[in-house]
Chains A and B, each alone.
Chain A
């Protein structure tokens, strides 16, 4: 196993180094499951941005995202002996992160399903969102205002829809991978994405 040293960036970690190898995440995780702390440090280095990025998008603030990312990676260390060699480590990390964030969102109770004028039918499955009937406004995604509007709109989605659309488009996971992360079927993901898109269209393109 070939390593090169990389110093950790903060002052409090003086003297601590992270080894860099050519191993895959899964090979590193195998070493972690044998209590290899160097392998874990490298895995954390690789996964932190990914885990934090998703948590930040889902939770919408830095402090919560930091806590969720930390809890996720500590959870991976504590579960190292139960790690199944089937499946990608990153999908596993996404799954733990998403669960951490959904739990936090549930406990916060900040999201409001009806805040965008959507309403559930009796079964609670079908969502009727009013769609725009006029011409669409010009959306320049490069503009910071448009970016801000999109962030706010994503923040208004119900948590599982938010997770699905972000995992699909922001993190670039396939439908099958999103299904594995959200513990549902590919058809379930289709449904989540469809509803998320309808809501986003209503929020972003609806004429005021």
Chain B
């Protein structure tokens, strides 16, 4: 194994918390460079863990909460499935009522209009006139 492959295995073993395989061990026993690499993995980890923590600015939480309130005002939330279902039911009911009222509405074709006017008695020669003629003839 060359040093590149050995170091790659060492890095992987380090992350898994495992001992390096025997053949890697045999290599590092005779390779100062890979021995240093193995040691440096621990040094780097400790150094990064020891970096001072950056604390969030004190007002950040309040700013975030304010921003979410603002975003909700400017952009309505995506409708939830329950709301969508309720909206669909209401629309279906309204649509059904509208369609039902259309079925009971006065006829609109020309023939139907003539018949309706004839029944109303406002048109000369309507059924009412025929009826009165019949009455006179009796």
Give the interface of A toward B (CB within 8 A): 8-10, 12-13, 16, 18, 35, 40-41, 44-45, 48-49, 51-53, 56-57, 62, 65-66, 69-70, 73-74, 77-78, 81, 131-133, 136, 139, 141-142, 146-147, 150-151, 154, 165-166, 168-170, 175, 189-190, 193-194, 197-198, 200-201, 204-205
Contact A69 B40 (CB under 8 A): no
Q: Could you tell me the dominant secondary structure of chain B's interface residues?
A: helix
With a 10 A CB-CB cut-off, give which of B16, B53, B64, B65 has the most chain A CB atoms.
B64
Residues of the A chain whose Cβ atoms lie less than 8 Å from the Cβ of B53: 49, 53
Contact B54 A78 (CB under 8 A): no
CB nearest to A139 among chain B residues: B43
* Residue among B51, B59, B60, B66 making CB contact with A150, cutoff 8 Å: B51
With a 10 A CB-CB cut-off, give which of B33, B54, B56, B78 has the most chain A CB atoms.
B56
> Does B120 lie at the interface of the complex (its beta carbon under 8 Å from any beta carbon of A)?
no
CB nearest to B60 among chain A residues: A48
Residues of the B chain whose Cβ atoms lie less than 8 Å from the Cβ of A9: 58-59, 61-62
Give the interface of B toward A (CB within 8 A): 7-8, 11-12, 15-16, 33, 36-37, 40-41, 43-68, 71-72, 75, 77-78, 80
Contact B77 A8 (CB under 8 A): no
Contact A48 B43 (CB under 8 A): no
Residues of the B chain whose Cβ atoms lie less than 8 Å from the Cβ of A166: 48
Rounded to whole Å, the gap between the CB of A89 and the closest CB of chain B is 15
* Residue among A44, A48, A141, A165 making CB contact with B50, cutoff 8 Å: A141
Contact A35 B77 (CB under 8 A): yes
With a 10 A CB-CB cut-off, give which of B8, B16, B33, B63 has the most chain A CB atoms.
B63
Could you write out 29 A-B pairs with CB less than 8 Å apart?
A13-B66, A48-B60, A48-B64, A49-B53, A53-B53, A53-B54, A65-B54, A66-B56, A66-B60, A69-B60, A69-B64, A70-B63, A70-B64, A74-B67, A74-B71, A81-B77, A136-B40, A141-B47, A141-B50, A147-B50, A166-B48, A169-B45, A170-B51, A175-B16, A189-B15, A190-B11, A201-B44, A204-B44, A205-B40
Residues of the A chain whose Cβ atoms lie less than 8 Å from the Cβ of B65: 8, 13, 16, 40-41, 44
* Residue among A44, A56, A146, A193 making CB contact with B54, cutoff 8 Å: A56
Please give 12 more A-B residue pairs, beta carbons under 8 A apart, in addition to A77-B72, A154-B48, A194-B7: A9-B62, A13-B66, A44-B65, A48-B56, A69-B64, A78-B75, A141-B47, A146-B47, A150-B51, A197-B40, A198-B7, A201-B40
- Which 8 pairs of residues, A with B, have the shortest CB-CB distance? A52-B56, A10-B59, A13-B62, A169-B48, A56-B54, A194-B11, A77-B68, A141-B47
Residues of the A chain whose Cβ atoms lie less than 8 Å from the Cβ of B11: 190, 193-194, 197
* Residue among A44, A131, A168 making CB contact with B64, cutoff 8 Å: A44
Residues of the B chain whose Cβ atoms lie less than 8 Å from the Cβ of A48: 56, 60-61, 64
Contact B57 A66 (CB under 8 A): yes
Complex-state Cα separation, A56 to B60, whole angstroms: 13
Residues of the B chain whose Cβ atoms lie less than 8 Å from the Cβ of A73: 64, 68
Rounded to whole Å, the gap between the CB of A199 and the closest CB of chain B is 11
CB nearest to A57 among chain B residues: B54
